[in-house]
Structure 1
Amino acid sequence: MTVTLYTAALVVPVTAPPIPDGAVAVKGGRILHVGDRRWVAATLAERGLAFEERQWRGVLTPGLVNAHTHLQYSHMGEVGQGRYQGFPDWAKAFNPVYERGSDWRKAAADGATQLLAAGTTAAADVVTDPAAASALHDAGLHGIAYWEVMDWTNDAWMLRGRAEVEAALDALPATPGTGLSPHAPYSLEIVPLLDIPDIVRERGSRIHIHLGEHAIEQELEHTHPDPWHGKGVGSLRELRDAGYGTSATEYVDHLGVLGPDCHIAHGVYLSASDRAILRARGSAVALCPRSNDIIGLGEPPVAAYLEEGSFISVGTDSLASSPSLDLLGDVAALFEIARRQGYHRADLAERLLAAATLGGARAMGLHLGRDRTGYLAVGARADLALFDVPVTTPGAAIDELVRHGEGRAAATIVGGKALYAREDAW
């Protein structure tokens, strides 16, 4: 197998310091060496390995990891162009357009193409219709397709829901990965939320849930001093009707949903105690600030997540609630939010770039093992992204990429193959 040497004015491994005039050697879809360009070239020569060099004038990073999206909604931009007063208001606009139907396979494929053009190499794709289920696989992307589960009552679930969901999960393409996405604590009653973690964990799969996106999920003042556990409550709404102010995070935690094999989307309406629960369970949050803004939600507590050491990742959500599928647009929004919320440390840009790469991989369990991704290291998958960002100093280049990187991807390499490249990429 031939060796390709990707060189750039700045290489950002994420798990190691940035490397000016750096290089990444790729062989057989995996990273062979990472380091200073002259050192990597000399090392290859010492090993008797001929190589083809591809030079880039800007920044080379791990491929971006979009930790929350719905690719099948990529033809629903008419909804995403509106402005709303909260999740229920947005849902009123979304539902009739969704019910009108679409060529979900083509929409998801178009969305996957947009991910590649933005430097994304892996994604958490939430799937509602079977026709869209193979989008990641067909595009050559890594990540996980999550079958979405919603609107099941306890009785209907026990009668036929579990069997239908298990069949849907087992019908998903085996590659790149599969999981279940219980939609939200308020859209499923308690029995499905109890069963879904077991269904997933029996198969060694993953869970992804919307949490903290609806105001009903916030912790409220209790009218009952005693715990709700064992009171025969059948749903989050029954919990509220009974006068319990328990947060949705505590609620799903008690049901066994959270854990290191689960990551959540949005995390807007999470208190300090809710965020502590996520950290204790090893669950990451995928922050989607541009979607939150269009829907009319509050800002996610970005500064608190950073200060507290929470596992964070970044998602675009869908074109039904976001202006683009370019993850760096959301990274830039997170930078501005964090500064407004009082996070003034010099490491902000570096941490947000890590969230958009390693953080997304960690959220889906893709950061470990033979097929690890999200960072540049020997033996990892050769998932790379090149960005047209000028390099003066490493810090300035990373800051520019994080704050103004949207639309500046020049090439996207997945498993050693260039699946997107501008004409001037090399």
Structure 2
Amino acid sequence: MSDAAGAIEVHRARVVFPDARTAIVDGAVAVAAGVVRDVGTYADVSLRLPSPPALVHEWDGILTPGLVNAHTHLQYSDMAVVGRGTYTSFEQWGARFNEFYVLERDWGASAADGVALSLRAGTTAVAEIVTDLGARNAVHDGGLHGIVFWEVFGWKEEAWLQDGADRVLADLETVPTPPAHGLSPHALYSLDGLVLRDLADIAAQRDLRLHIHAAESASEDEFVRTGTGMLAERWRELGHPDLRLLASGGVGMGVISYLDALGVLSPRTHIAHGIYVDAEDRATLRERGVVAALCPRSNRVIGLADPPVADYLREGNTIAVGTDSLSSSPSLSVRDDMAELYRIARAQGYADDDLHARLFAAATLGGAAALGLDAGPGAIGRLAPGYRADLAVFRVTDRSPRHALAEFVEAGGSEAQATIVDGVIRHRAAEL
């Protein structure tokens, strides 16, 4: 019998981490029909099964929930030459990106490569931003969970009022499901405020998730506050002085405050990057229920500051982990970004001994929360009865749970031993 027909399969590992706070030595996860049925020690799970399992998978490593990449653009996977560069500013990277973006390419094949790399890295769910319709099928065809966000870019008020919403929604409807759809207003510097407000209203009416790049660069902050700076000058050079923020000389407030004033921030929204934020901004994100997806390796490539990881953690913000795309990052490995967040948090003075657990949570349940998938039907992010049977197996050298978790978080790594989606093994390392 197959798993789809209801046969129970058991995944056994020397340590199972169902969530960030729990470790089970000689643990097991029983799955059937794509759902977790039981979690515990192998002995206990075996006793509770109604009949012998159809198959027992023995893994020599740690077993975790599948990782969640809370911010990525898989369609740019064949633009890795850009991500291998080193840049001194957001604007310099943007110019290099555009050189390659305008070249003719197969966006669908590029996005499919990104799906394959994600599975290889232990990722089972993504917040995927699609900018070109050629890339719209990849996540659906590749069987990943998460949300596919249709990116909304370059709309100004006058054109938007004519037929903007209709055109955006028509494009969104061509993206296949599952997974669910969402809208991604690109950023405050590429859309007029009225457009952002309307998109937030549409998302509320249609129960769609929103995902927006926010507080990514210092020049973005200048753009919003005063309509000045390197980014503002670049947009004027490109022929867009009529963007409202440029024409009006900014709005006199920062990125997070302005997004809040527009009604964009709500529990259905998560932001990408969230670097240039102060304590008041972080408090606003907490109050609105907004998760920040941190992408530290992408920030470093582009020449930006590190995100305030320690402050987010100390103050109680929910964070998630994103890789961004290969056009700005060395890999699509959530573990690599988790390791970088660990290094940054320690450098910023975070000394509490819960750091490994909190970053593990960010890469799993935090990502699920960003996508609105942390509870209810189809929930992901932990291994518990009723959750999707999305699992990942990783090799670690240390066998004690405490040290195995530390190694998992700190060491990084671009390949999982195995990646299981809906109870089906979708990736298995060649060595196995």
With the shorter chain as reference, the TM-score category is: over 0.9
CA distance in 2, matches of 1:291, 1:154: 31
Task: Judge conservation of contact 2:331–2:414 (CA < 8 Å) in 1.
Answer: no
Tell me the equivalent position of 1:213. Answer: 216
Tell me the equivalent position of 2:329. Answer: 322
Amino acid at match of 1:250: S
Tell me the equivalent position of 2:198. Answer: 195
Give, in angstroms, the shift of residue 419 of structure 1: 0.7
Q: Deviations over 1:265-324 (max 9, x none)?
A: 000111111111110000000000000000000110000000011010000000000000
Task: Judge conservation of contact 1:236–1:248 (CA < 8 Å) in 2.
Answer: no
Q: Deviations over 1:355-379 (max 9, x none)?
A: 0011001000011111000100001
Are 2:401 and 1:394 equivalent residues in the alignment?
Answer: yes
Q: Deviations over 1:158-186 (max 9, x none)?
A: 12322211111122112111111000011
CA distance in 2, matches of 1:219, 1:75: 32
Tell me the equivalent position of 1:147. Answer: 150
- After the TM superposition, which residues 154-165 of structure 1 pair with which residues of structure 2 at under 5 Å, given as runs? 154-165=157-168
What secondary structure does 1:74 align onto?
Answer: helix
Are 2:16 and 1:11 equivalent residues in the alignment?
Answer: yes
Are 2:358 and 1:347 equivalent residues in the alignment?
Answer: no
- After the TM superposition, which residues 230-245 of structure 1 pair with which residues of structure 2 at under 5 Å, given as runs? 235-238=244-247, 241=249, 244-245=251-252
CA distance in 2, matches of 1:238, 1:190: 12
Tell me the equivalent position of 2:73. Answer: 70
Are 2:288 and 1:285 equivalent residues in the alignment?
Answer: no
Task: Judge conservation of contact 1:389–1:400 (CA < 8 Å) in 2.
Answer: yes
The structure-2 alpha-carbon separation of the partners of 1:26 and 1:221, relative to structure 1 and needing over 3 Å to count, comes to closer
Give, in angstroms, the shift of residue 238 of structure 1: 4.4
The structure-2 alpha-carbon separation of the partners of 1:50 and 1:277, relative to structure 1 and needing over 3 Å to count, comes to same
What secondary structure does 2:10 align onto?
Answer: strand
The structure-2 alpha-carbon separation of the partners of 1:157 and 1:343, relative to structure 1 and needing over 3 Å to count, comes to same
Tell me the equivalent position of 1:357. Answer: 364
Tell me the equivalent position of 1:226. Answer: none
Unaligned runs of 5+ in 1: 224-232
Q: Equivalent of 1:409, from 411, 416, 423? A: 416
Q: Equivalent of 1:123, from 108, 126, 140? A: 126
Give, in angstroms, the shift of residue 50 of structure 1: 3.4
Tell me the equivalent position of 1:184. Answer: 187
Task: Judge conservation of contact 1:220–1:245 (CA < 8 Å) in 2.
Answer: no
Give, in angstroms, the shift of residue 78 of structure 1: 1.1
Give, in angstroms, the shift of residue 423 of structure 1: 4.1
What secondary structure does 1:381 align onto?
Answer: coil
Amino acid at match of 1:27: A
Unaligned runs of 5+ in 2: 1-5, 227-241
Tell me the equivalent position of 2:7. Answer: 2
CA distance in 2, matches of 1:278, 1:89: 29
Amino acid at match of 1:87: F
Please provide the CA RMSD for this pair.
1.8
Amino acid at match of 2:378: D
Q: Which moved more, 1:413-422 or 1:60-69?
A: 413-422
Q: Deviations over 1:212-233 (max 9, x none)?
A: 112134389989xxxxxxxxx9
What secondary structure does 1:100 align onto?
Answer: coil
Task: Judge conservation of contact 2:224–2:255 (CA < 8 Å) in 1.
Answer: no
Task: Judge conservation of contact 1:186–1:235 (CA < 8 Å) in 2.
Answer: no
Give, in angstroms, the shift of residue 236 of structure 1: 3.4
CA distance in 1, matches of 2:26, 2:130: 41
Tell me the equivalent position of 2:230. Answer: none
Tell me the equivalent position of 1:376. Answer: 383
What TM-score, normalized to structure 2? 0.92
What TM-score, normalized to structure 1? 0.93
Q: Equivalent of 1:133, from 109, 116, 136? A: 136
The structure-2 alpha-carbon separation of the partners of 1:220 and 1:246, relative to structure 1 and needing over 3 Å to count, comes to farther
Are 2:344 and 1:337 equivalent residues in the alignment?
Answer: yes
Percent of aligned pairs with the same amino acid: 49
Moved beyond 6 Å, runs of 4+: 219-223
Q: Equivalent of 2:262, from 251, 255, 259? A: 255
CA distance in 2, matches of 1:335, 1:18: 20
